[in-house]
Structure 1
Amino acid sequence: MATPTTIDVSHFHHTPFYCEENVYLLCKKLCNDGISNSEGSDLFVVFISNEKKQIPLWNQKASNRADGAVLWDYHVICIQINQAGDKPLVWDLDSKLPFPSPLASYVSETIRPSFQLFSDYDRLFRIVHAPIFLSCFASDRRHMKGSDGHWIEEPPPHEPIVAQDGTEHNLNEYFNISGSDAITDIKTSSVKDAVFTQKHGIVIKENQLEELFSHISLQ
Structure 2
Amino acid sequence: MKRNRHIPLWHQKASQRADGVVLWDYHVICVQRKKGGDSPCLVWDLDSSLPFPSPLAPYVSETIQPSFQLFSEYQRFFRIVHAPVFLRCFASDRRHMKDSAGNWIAQPPAYEPIVAEDKTAHNLNEYNEIRADEVSVNVEPDLIHAVYTNKLGVVLSENQLEEFFTQVSS
* Structure 1 residue 151 corresponds to structure 2 residue 104: yes
Q: What's the CA shift string for 1:8-56, capped at 9, x where partnerless?
A: xxxxxxxxxxxxxxxxxxxxxxxxxxxxxxxxxxxxxxxxxx9521100
* Structure 1 residue 169 corresponds to structure 2 residue 93: no
What is the SS of the residue equivalent to 2:58?
Answer: helix
Matches within 5 A, 1:169-188: 169-187=122-140
What is the SS of the residue equivalent to 1:59?
Answer: coil
Any unmatched runs of 5+ in structure 1?
1-49
Indicate the residue corresponding to 1:33 in structure 2: none
Shift of 1:77: 0.3
Say if 2:3 and 2:75, in contact at 8 Å, map to a contact too: no
Shift of 1:181: 1.2
Shift of 1:142: 0.7
Indicate the residue corresponding to 1:7 in structure 2: none
Q: Could you state the TM-score of these two structures normalised by the residue count of structure 1?
A: 0.74
Q: Partners of 1:177 and 1:78 in 2: how far apart?
A: 19
Letter in 2 for 1:115: F
Indicate the residue corresponding to 2:159 in structure 1: 207
Indicate the residue corresponding to 1:28 in structure 2: none
Letter in 1 for 2:73: D
Letter in 1 for 2:91: A
Q: Partners of 2:130 and 2:149 in 1: how far apart?
A: 18
Match of 2:25 among 73, 89, 108: 73
Structure (1 or 2) with the greater helix fraction: 1
Q: Partners of 1:149 and 1:159 in 2: how far apart?
A: 18
Shift of 1:153: 1.6
Moved over 6 A (4+): none
What is the SS of the residue equivalent to 1:212?
Answer: helix
Letter in 1 for 2:126: E
> How many pairs align?
168
Letter in 2 for 1:117: L
What is the SS of the residue equivalent to 1:151?
Answer: coil
* Structure 1 residue 99 corresponds to structure 2 residue 52: yes
Aligned residues with identical type, % of pairs: 62
Say if 2:89 and 2:151, in contact at 8 Å, map to a contact too: yes
Say if 1:51 and 1:176, in contact at 8 Å, map to a contact too: no
Q: Partners of 2:56 and 2:154 in 1: how far apart?
A: 18
